[in-house]
Amino acid sequence: MRLGFFIREAFTSISRNAVPSFAALASVLVTLLVLGVFIPIVQATTGAANDVRGQVIVNVYMKSDATAADAQRVRGQLTELDGVKSVQYVSKDTAYAQERRKNPAAYDLLGSNPLPDTLRVTPTNPDNALALVSAIEPQTPGGGRTTIDPSIDSVGSSKDNTDKILTATRVVKLTTGLLAALLIVASVLLISNTIRLSVFSRRREIQVMKLVGATDGFIRWPFVLEAVILGALGALLAILLLGVMKVALVDPLVNDFALLSAPSTIGFGVLVAVLLGAGIAVSALGSAISMRRFLQV
């Protein structure tokens, strides 16, 4: 039997059963529309959280009488520590110039440069920032703190801020991941159940075809192709609406909101392919699974 015959049968079945077909199409449309909006939001939010986590650094402040050779020696020691991604040296003059540009009036009143030479240590994993501080400032037997080099004056741990940043970003990533998983599961169940109801409404037709000698494949393929067509149509309508929303709402705001232009956000072309594939695959799978019980006559 040729594929054209099954396709014609699928379209005939759609027109003959307009209400269940429309319900399946609407289910795919709404589900993929929500999914298409939610995927970029999850990616942008997670990317922003990762950017914030990437700003967690450990500042190692040198003593006022430390020389360039001392800074170079300390930099080498810091580089050898476990969990260190990079070490950047910022001289007191460079730091003064940077801060003066931010607040020229306040720094003009100082007269002299109060800032020390600084080594900015970026950890390989932001979660290990506080452990890295402990490695640079190990505890003495008496319970106090020392440093790994006598030229180091102090270590800017910003423990409270670091804890807040890591906790907040961890909650954001966990929440968005959980919501994404729940939405995907809900989408699969919603589409599958809608297709299942559509097949259930025609159970007598299936049973009659089975009783007169039709093979399982002959019965199944028109229904599977019908589900594929409805899934593709629902996905295309969802993609069309998302495209209109992107052009009319998102694109004009990209320059004003950095979150919208996050480089980690999925491209629209890739999103189209994902939604189209998801609509077709889930609809076809839901139809095939739903028909199994009705083919057992």
Among 158, 184, 210, the domain-final residue is 158
Q: Do both 207 and 188 map to the same domain?
A: yes
Instruction: Answer yes or no: are the C-beta atoms of 237 and 230 closer than 8 Å.
Output: no
CA atoms of 206 and 256, how far apart (whole Å): 56
Q: Do both 37 and 180 map to the same domain?
A: yes
What pLDDT sits at residue 296? 61
Inter-CA distances, 59 with 66, 89, 120, 139, Å: 16, 10, 5, 18
Instruction: Answer yes or no: are the C-beta atoms of 279 and 32 closer than 8 Å.
Output: yes
pLDDT band with cut points at 50, 70 and 90 for residue 3: confident
Inter-CA distances, 169 with 40, 49, 58, 184, Å: 17, 5, 18, 22
pLDDT band with cut points at 50, 70 and 90 for residue 73: very high
Share of the chain above pLDDT 70, in %: 79
Q: Do both 264 and 129 map to the same domain?
A: no
Please report the beta strands in 23-117, taking only residues with DSSP state E, as ranges in sequence order.
58-62, 84-90
What pLDDT sits at residue 295? 63
Instruction: Answer yes or no: are the C-beta atoms of 271 and 39 closer than 8 Å.
Output: yes
Q: Do both 170 and 47 map to the same domain?
A: yes
Is 14 inside any structural domain? yes
Is 150 inside any structural domain? yes
Is 71 inside any structural domain? yes
Q: What angle do CA 178, 180, 184 make, to 5 degrees?
A: 120
Is 197 inside any structural domain? yes
Q: Is the confidence at residue 297, as pLDDT, over 70?
A: no
Instruction: Answer yes or no: are the C-beta atoms of 25 and 230 closer than 8 Å.
Output: yes
- Mean pLDDT for 216-226 is 77
Is 233 inside any structural domain? yes
Matching residue, tokens 């149509």? 233
- Mean pLDDT for 17-27 is 77
Q: Do both 48 and 60 map to the same domain?
A: no
Return the number of other C-beta atoms located less than 10 Å from residue 235's C-beta: 27
Instruction: Write down the pTM of the prediction.
Output: 0.60
H/E stretch holding 146:
none
Matching residue, tokens 């922003």? 48
Q: Pseudo-torsion of CA 99, 100, 105, 106, nearest 10°? A: 40
CA atoms of 158 and 83, how far apart (whole Å): 18
Q: Do both 43 and 61 map to the same domain?
A: no
Instruction: Answer yes or no: are the C-beta atoms of 228 and 280 closer than 8 Å.
Output: yes
Inter-CA distances, 28 with 13, 18, 138, Å: 18, 15, 59
Q: Note down the domain range covering 187.
A: 3-52+166-291
Q: How many CA atoms lie within 13 A of 75 on its CB side?
A: 17
Q: Do both 18 and 134 map to the same domain?
A: no
What average pLDDT does the chain have?
Answer: 77
Is 296 inside any structural domain? no
Is 297 inside any structural domain? no
Between 256 and 224, name the one with better pLDDT.
224
Please report the beta strands in the chain, taking only residues with DSSP state E, as ranges in sequence order.
58-62, 84-90, 118-123, 152-156
- pLDDT tens-digit readout, 106-158: 666 666 777 888 998 888 888 788 888 888 888 887 777 788 888 998 887 55
Sequence-ordered list of residues with C-beta below 8 angstroms from that of 133, at least 6 positions apart, any chain? 58, 155, 157, 159
Q: Do both 180 and 153 map to the same domain?
A: no
Q: Do both 29 and 64 map to the same domain?
A: no
Is 69 inside any structural domain? yes
What pLDDT sits at residue 258? 54
Q: Which amino acid is at 61?
A: Y
CATH of the domain at 148: 3.30.70.3040
Q: Do both 229 and 97 map to the same domain?
A: no
Beta bridge partners of 152: 62
Number of domains in the chain: 2
What pLDDT sits at residue 157? 59
Q: Do both 35 and 176 map to the same domain?
A: yes
Among 158, 179, 213, the domain-final residue is 158
Q: Do both 66 and 85 map to the same domain?
A: yes
pLDDT band with cut points at 50, 70 and 90 for residue 261: low
Among 158, 176, 203, the domain-final residue is 158
